[in-house]
Homo-oligomer: A and B are copies of this chain.
C-alpha cells in the first residue's frame, strides 16, 4: 500500500506548505496529490493533512510519515552509493561553473556533502564568468549552474528551481511604503550589483533596459558586501529572495517586489548529455535539488 511516491509527496507538501506547489515539485498535478493523500488517509484511517482554513499543514500522523520518508530516502541514497561503488567508474572530475554569484551561498554545503560521498571525484569551482556559460562545457567545466536555459544540442538541462528577485532597500528608504517597485522608481537610484555586464543582471535585462532606464551602477563581489552597501544607503540592489531572509528578519534591510507580478528567475544545471549518466553526476544533481528545496525559503520547482 504505502509506496515511495507517497512519501515523496508528503515531504513535498511539508516543505512547500501546500498541495499545489507540492504537486509542481513532484511533477504531478494537484489532483494526483489529492488522490494519493486521500488513499493514504483511508488506508490508515487517519487524517494526514490539516485543513484549517488558510494554514495548511501535516497532522502528527502526516509528519510521522514524512519523517519516515526522510529516513527512507537517506537509506536509499546510502545504498545506491554503495551500488555505485561496485561499479568501475567511481572516479572522475567535476568542475562546476556558476553564472549566479549568489549561488555560492548554498552550493558550499552541497559540495561538502558530495565530497564526502565521492572522495574519488575531484571537485573544482571554475571561476571567471563568460558571456555564453554553456560554452564552458566544451573544455573548462563539467557542469554549469545558470539561469537561462538556451537549449543546445548534446547538452542536457536539469531544472533546479524558480525564485523571486526582490529589490533590497535600506530600512528607511523613501520607497519603503510601496508594495512593489516600478521601473521608474529605479531611475534615481544607484544599483548595486555583482561586477558583471548589464545583460547578466536580471533586473537590468528584464525590467530597466526595456523601459529605457539606466541607473548608475556600483559593484561588489560578495553578497554580504552588497547588502552592507545597501544598508548604508549607497544604493539599492536586486537579490534572490532566498538569500535575504536572514537580513530581513534582523531588519538590516527591507525588500520589495519588483513589478506587480514580481521578477522571477530560474536556475538550471547544464552538462554534456553523456555526463548525466555518470552515477556521481546523478547523485550531485539529486543532492543539489534536495538541498535547494529543503534549505532555501521561497523557491519553487520549475
0 or 1 for each of A92-133: is its CB under 8 Å from B? (1 = yes): 000000000000000000000000000000000000000000
Contacts A3-B3, A4-B2, A4-B4 known; A83 to B61 CB distance under 8 Å? yes
> What CA separation (Å) do A117 and B60 show in the bound complex?
19
Is B61 a contact partner of A68 (Cβ separation < 8 A)?
A: no
Q: Which of A69-77, A180-188, A207-215, A267-275 lies at the interface with chain B?
A: A69-77
User: Provided the pairs A2-B76, A4-B4, A72-B72 are in contact, do residues A61 and B86 lie with their beta carbons within 8 angstroms?
Assistant: yes
Give the number of chain A interface residues (Cβ < 8 Å). 23
Nearest Cβ on chain B to A274's Cβ, whole angstroms: 14
Interface of A is mostly: helix
Chain A residues 77 to 94 lying within 8 A of chain B, measured CB to CB, are 78-80, 82-83, 86-87
A25, chain B: closest CB distance, angstroms: 18
Between A65, A67, A79, the greatest number of chain B beta carbons within 10 A of the residue's beta carbon is seen for A79
Shortest CB distance A77–B (Å): 10
A28 interfacial contact with B, CB 8 Å = no
Assess A76 versus B68: contact at CB under 8 Å? Given A2-B4, A45-B87, A87-B46.
yes
Please indicate the chain B residues that have their CB under 8 angstroms from the CB of A60 in the complex: 86
The distance from the CB of A234 to the nearest CB of chain B, in whole angstroms, is 51
User: What residues of B have a CB within 8 angstroms of the CB of A82 in the complex?
Assistant: 64
**Which residues of the partner chain B approach A45 to less than 8 Å between Cβ atoms?**
87
The 9 closest A-B pairs by CB, nearest first: A68-B79, A64-B82, A61-B86, A61-B83, A44-B83, A72-B72, A3-B4, A71-B75, A64-B79
Which chain A residues have a beta carbon within 8 Å of chain B's beta carbons?
Answer: 2-4, 44-46, 60-61, 64-65, 67-68, 71-72, 75-76, 78-80, 82-83, 86-87
